Amino acid sequence: MSADRGPMVIVGAGQAGLSVARALRAGGYQGTVIMIGAEPERPYERPALSKAALAGPAAESDDPAPALAEPAEWRALNLDARLGQRVRAIDRNRRLLHCDDQTTVAYGTLFLATGGEARRLPGVAGDRVHYLRTLGDARELRRGLANARRLLVAGGGWIGLEVAAAARHQGLEVTVLEAGARLCERSLPEDAADYLLQHHQERGVRFRFGAVASPRASANGVCCEVDGTRLRADLMLVGIGLVPNDRLAVEAGLEVDDGIVVDGQARTSDPCIFAVGDVARFPSSFAGRRLRLESWTHARLQAEAAAAAALGGSAGYRDQPWFWSDQHDLNVQVLGLPRGRGICRDYGTGRRGLFYFHEGALTGAVAFNAGRDIGFARRWLNAGRSPRAEDLADTGLALSALHRHLREVADEA
């Protein structure tokens, strides 16, 4: 494809933005690709910020999050990378971006991969209160943890739990304050959440549920009143969700609904503009409704679909939600949108797979140190079939045998 329509411009230098650039080059596009990123760093692995960046040998490194592209690949992509720069407005009529250094950038096709920002606690500020979204955030939190004895975590979601696990690994006393009734309420069924809670409690993490954090921060620490009890800590990590960075889209008049609304090819209400990753709300073929997903895999796959569409392809993005987390010695994987009746395969020694059925159909799976179970569940969801729930409950029946049986039945049909 020629570049006479104007350059491809990517706003956002994270996983989604870099995946767009890779897919454009892999698709044969040889024209100008401009990448504009608010952070000064080249694209890096954001999941590491709450995992390896805060625990183990990586915590002693100046670069706690590995780069997404090695130097040789970065050079081969031949990007006009403008890092440490922010776009402040989109002029859709003239296809121009207005940047904070008073320059303008023309685009033929625009990809918004602007991600999101950590949701803030209103009225709470200070060096003792931390958020975790960027590499700079991770560096500050790591320094704080190195000199702390007690940590309060506001939010019992994935970020909060990963940081709680890392802090316990370093010997800190940790209390998690969760406003809801259980952990990861939006993404985990109750039985899986209970198992995760038990795992943390056995490793010394304390929890307060139904606790709305209203901390007071000072130069000496953080104080929070919960049910009449005053909790004190050296610092607090706030992990209460993500707010999509959709301001540019709102001000440009694009359709927005808690994220930028896109079609199955990630195209916005302006045919020259795509939106991908955490910021995009897309029609999920898996869920049968619009979703906004915050996951590494989703960002990559949706970006690849958007790039293909921009190059003239007609295929859409077929999603299958998948997410993973490392907490203490536990690898957690969540596939699909687990709901309904749960079937547990307990292998002992902390390994278990949970499969969920609604009206006889598999809706998803959760695995604790049982990644192989996720592999089988992925194949079954892709094929639109699954073993019977009662067969899955029998750990004496190998999943490979159940899978072979399903294939034989399908071949006979």
What is the pLDDT, as a whole number, of residue 55? 58
Predicted local confidence at residue 179, as pLDDT: 93
Round to whole Å and give the CA distance between 228 and 231: 10
Bridge-based pairing of strands 235-238 and 150-154 is parallel
Q: How far is CA 388 from CA 310, 345, 367, in A?
A: 42, 13, 18
Q: Do domains 8-117+242-310 and 120-238 have the same CATH topology?
A: yes
Task: Give the strand pairing for 221-226 and 216-218.
Answer: antiparallel
Strand 260-261: give its sheet, edge to edge. Answer: 260-261, 280-284, 289-291
Q: What CA–CA distance (Å, rounded) separates 126 from 163?
A: 19
Q: Do 172 and 346 contact (CB within 8 A), yes or no?
A: no
The CATH number of 329-412 is which of 3.40.50.150, 3.30.390.30, 3.30.310.50, 3.30.70.260?
A: 3.30.390.30
Given this model, what pLDDT does residue 57 score?
A: 43
CATH class for the region spanning 8-117+242-310:
alpha beta
Which CATH number describes the domain made up of 120-238?
A: 3.50.50.60
- Tell me the CA end-to-end span of the chain in Å, nearest whole number: 44
Tokens 């870099």 belong to residue: 18
Q: What is the pLDDT along the chain (413 residues), one digit of tens a residue?
A: 334 467 999 999 999 999 999 999 999 999 999 999 999 999 998 877 886 556 544 444 455 678 899 999 999 999 999 999 999 999 999 999 999 999 999 999 999 999 999 999 887 777 899 999 998 899 899 999 999 999 999 999 999 999 999 999 999 999 999 999 999 999 999 999 999 999 999 999 999 999 887 888 888 899 988 888 899 999 999 999 999 999 999 999 999 999 999 999 999 999 999 999 999 999 998 888 999 999 999 999 999 999 999 999 988 888 889 999 999 999 999 999 999 999 999 998 889 999 999 998 999 999 999 999 999 999 999 988 888 888 998 888 999 999 998 887 776 65
- Using alpha carbons, select from 375, 342, 346, 367 the residue that is nearest to residue 356: 342
How far is the C-alpha of 201 from the C-alpha of 185, rounded, in Å? 18
Q: For residue 58, what pLDDT is reported?
A: 42
Q: Please provide residue 358's backbone torsions phi and psi, each rounded to the nearest 5 degrees.
A: -130, 120
Locate 141 and state its tokens: 């939190």
Extended beta strands in 292-350, E state: 322-327, 330-336, 341-348
Domain boundaries, the chain: 8-117+242-310, 120-238, 329-412
**Contacts with 275 (C-beta within 8 Å, 6 or more apart), sequence order:** 111, 112, 113, 249, 254, 259, 260, 262, 266, 268
